[in-house]
Amino acid sequence: MSAAAIWAIVAAVALGVEIFTLDLTFGLIAVGALAGAGVSLIGAPLWASIVAASAVSLAGILFVRPVALRHLRRMPKGARTGVDALPGVEGYALTEITEREGRMKLRGEEWTARLDPDVTLEPVGSGTKLVVTRIDGATALVHPID
């Protein structure tokens, strides 16, 4: 069996493992193995194909994988659900809202709310339009809309 065929088998196995892990590491190892197969096909010695496979795999894992994962894990704003979808949503105060307590109407539901201390600490009255800055447990941190 030729070295190129062995490298192709290594690439296929790595791709098989990648299907189950989905973390791009084994996929990039498979790309490196294909580089090793390519070097073997042109007649280079075994050490050259090992160096090529290692270099391509390592470069992919160090430089390509972080960028690819950052792009793959980015969630579009419209795809967020649950409490992750609430920051930026507008509602209104049902009671006076302070930095410690309050109630608000948010997407048709009644929520406990308090002022976001990073934005304002001045209490707001009932009926004031609010925007959610973040969620802390089951409490919406809000600030008034000017």
Please tell me whether residues 84 and 130 are part of one structural domain. yes
Please tell me whether residues 131 and 88 are part of one structural domain. yes
> Model pTM?
0.56
Domain with 121 in it: what CATH number?
2.40.50.140
What are the C-alpha distances in Å from 52 to residues 44, 47, 73, 82, 115? Answer: 10, 9, 30, 47, 58
58: domain range?
A: 3-73
Please tell me whether residues 94 and 67 are part of one structural domain. no
The answer to whether 128 and 92 have CB atoms below 8 angstroms apart is: yes
Task: State the DSSP string of 64-132.
Answer: IHHHHHHHHHPPPGGG--GGGG-TT-EEEESS-B-SS--EEEETTEEEEEEE-TTT--S-B-TT-EEEE
pLDDT in tens, 73-130: 876 766 677 778 889 899 999 999 999 999 999 989 999 999 999 888 899 999 999 9
Q: How far apart are CA 26 and CA 13, in angstroms?
A: 9
- Please identify which residue in the block is written with the tokens 């049902």: 94
pLDDT at 1: 87
Please tell me whether residues 95 and 133 are part of one structural domain. yes
Among 73, 99, 129, where does a domain finish?
A: 73
Please tell me whether residues 57 and 99 are part of one structural domain. no
